[in-house]
Each structure stands twice: as C-alpha cells, then as structure tokens.
Amino acid sequence: MNQFASDVLEGLSAQPKRLSSKYFYDQKGDELFQQIMALDEYYLTRTEYSILDQFKAQVLDQFKSDNKPFNLIEFGAGDGYKTKVLLRHFLEQKANFCYMPIDISSNVLEQLETSLKVELPALNVTPICNHYFEALEELKEGKERNVILFLGSNIGNFTAEQADSFLKGLNAALKEDDILFIGFDLKKDPEVILNAYNDKQGVTAAFNFNLLDRINSELGGNFNTSQFRHYPIYNPMTGTTTSYLISEKEQTVEIMDAAIHFRAWEPIHMEISQKYDQVMINEMAKKADFEIIDGFTDDKKYFLSSVWRK
C-alpha cells in the first residue's frame, strides 16, 4: 500500500477523523489553488506579492549582505508568481546568486523551469527534486550563503508542534549566517480571515471536496461529496483557522477493503491555517535558534515577510 492510501485509512479510522491537507495538491488541486489565489476574499497572495514588490531592494540587501554570493533556495515554489518579482529585481541588480527551487514533484519543477527560461533567460537555475532537508544536507558543504524562501504562510498548515520541529530541523541543516525568509499571515479582523476560507463562489469548498474525489479515483472510494458540508471556523484565541467536511447524515463509505462509518454530522478535520502575531513569531524564532534581523509588512498589517538568520 502506498503512503497516500495508508495515511487516508489511518486518518479516517481515527477518532476524530482526519485527512492531511498535504494531499490536496494533485493536478486538479493545483488548479483550484490557483483559483483560490485569484479570489477577492483570499488576500494572502496579493498582499505578500505587494510586500515583495515594495521591499525587493531591502530584501536583496539582507540576502547578499557584503555582496556575498548566495543560493536562493525555495521550498514549495509552485508557479513562482511571487518569487519572480524578487528574481527579476535581483537580476537587474546583477546580484551573484543561483535560484534553486526544491520540490518533490518533478512535474512542478519542470513547468517552473520552462517558464523561467522564457521570462528570465539570464537566470541561473538549479532545480532540486528532493525532500527539503535532504536537499539542504548537500548544500551545507558549499561556501555560498544559503537563503531559504518559505513564502505564502505555508508554515500555517503545520500545528505549533510541527512548526517548531520543522524550524529546528531547518536550523540544524543550515550554516551559521544562512538566512530564512519566511511569510506569516497575521491575526486580523476574524471576518476577513474566515471569508478567505469560505469564499462565496465555493472554490475553497471544492478544494476540500477534491480530496474526497481523489480518494474515490485513486483508492477506489465511493464518497458522495454532496452528502458532506464544507465548514471552516476561525478561533481568535489560538489564531487557528480549521476546515472540516461534515457528513450530513449517517452513512458508510467504502475505501479499498475498509468500511468507514460516519455518524450523522460527524466531521473530518481537513486543514489548519495558522494566523500569527509578533509575540508568537518571536517565540518561534527563539525556540529554533534563529535571530530575527528584519521584517516587511503591508499598510493594513495583514501579512509579514520576516527575515531570520542562523
């Protein structure tokens, strides 16, 4: 049995039931996430893009410090829409760097490389098809400064414990003076946050239902998505947005040889998207042994691009 199958069966046999949002991103999921990023309600991408555009010069100053050459290593680059603002500026400034997008999907990397060849032909690109930390192990030997880009508030899909151990592991894989440039979605008006995960057109709902469809097509499941309700909540105490799919009636779903029983109104925990404030961010950096050396935000203080140094 593959990892996807065993994670799905384990999660749906647990109490409460859960699925992992890391499985949202098959081809259809990638398309739906592109649509989410273009939604009026989904302020994250647009806001982070505007921060990068406004502060690209200061960002480069931090990355190159005394004109040192650096590796610009991106975790989860996707289509590179936001990164290209930085890359274009860095090239104009004749910065001495190599762009290294890391992804476990060779498909994602090939598409990105193709679009970069057309849009930024002068760029020095070395895609790395590997797990994040394994890729870093190889780069630790080099003399160039490593600069890690972890944009989009992607860290928000981790629980606090997962985020802490991810950042500790990252710190251990870096050299002294290496940089982490990390995006955080900030706490704000709870209605603004909730709407970003509950858009009127139902794209975010479709993004969640797509994982049930994926289970149907890849694992021979028989989910009827019309019998589930997409239900996101935002908890202002913890800053966590949580998305559930709730079974509207008692039913049994078959997946491979397993029968998964749902009580009426029983939820599946699908995803968390953590929102942060400066105190939380300071604590995370400290626990993982990073020093916060700079930060950039938008006028509304919706999003923070934070610069950390090992």
Binding site residues, ligand AVJ, CB under 6 A:
36, 44, 152-154, 156-157, 197, 204, 207, 271, 273
Q: Which amino acid is at 87?
A: L
CA distance 38 to 36: 5
Residue with tokens 């592109």: 34
What is the nearest approach in angstroms of ligand AVJ to the Cβ of residue 173? 22
Residue nearest to ligand AVJ as judged by C-beta position: 273
Q: How far apart are CA 252 and CA 208, in angstroms?
A: 19
Closest CB to ligand AVJ among residues 195, 273? 273
Minimum CB distance to ligand AVJ, residue 138 (Å): 26
Residue 188 C-beta: closest distance to ligand AVJ, Å: 13
Please, are residues 151 and 82 in contact by the beta-carbon 8 Å criterion? yes
In this complex, which beta carbon is closest to ligand AVJ, that of residue 139 or of residue 284? 284
User: What does the chain look like in DSSP terms, one character per residue?
Assistant: --HHHHHHHHHHHSSSEE--GGGG-SHHHHHHHHHHHTSSS-HHHHHHHHHHHHHHHHHHHHHHTTT--EEEEEES-TT-TTHHHHHHHHHHTT--EEEEEEES-HHHHHHHHHHHHHH-TT--B--EES-HHHHHHHHTTSSSEEEEEE-TTGGGGS-HHHHHHHHHHHHHHSPTT-EEEEEEEBP--HHHHHHHTS-TT-HHHHHHHHHHHHHHHHH-----GGGEEEEEEEETTTTEEEEEEEESS-EEEEETTEEEEE-TT-EEEEEEEE-B-HHHHHHHHHHTT-EEEEEEE-TT--EEEEEEE-
Torsion sign over Cα 151, 113, 103, 95 = negative
Q: CB of 79: closest distance to ligand AVJ in angstroms?
A: 13
Question: What is the closest distance, in whole angstroms, from the C-beta atom of residue 39 to ligand AVJ in the complex?
Answer: 9
CB of 98 to ligand AVJ, least distance (A): 25
Least distance from C-beta 209 to ligand AVJ, angstroms? 12
CB closer to ligand AVJ, 56 vs 82: 82
The nearer residue to ligand AVJ, 153 or 297, going by C-beta atoms, is 153
Residue 58 or 201 with smaller CB distance to ligand AVJ: 201
**Minimum CB separation from ligand AVJ for residue 87, in Å?**
20
CB nearer to ligand AVJ: pick between 36 and 77: 36
From CA 104, how far away is CA 272, in angstroms rounded?
A: 22
Q: In terms of CB distance, is 207 or 262 closer to ligand AVJ?
A: 207
Which C-beta is closer to ligand AVJ: that of 73 or that of 206? 206
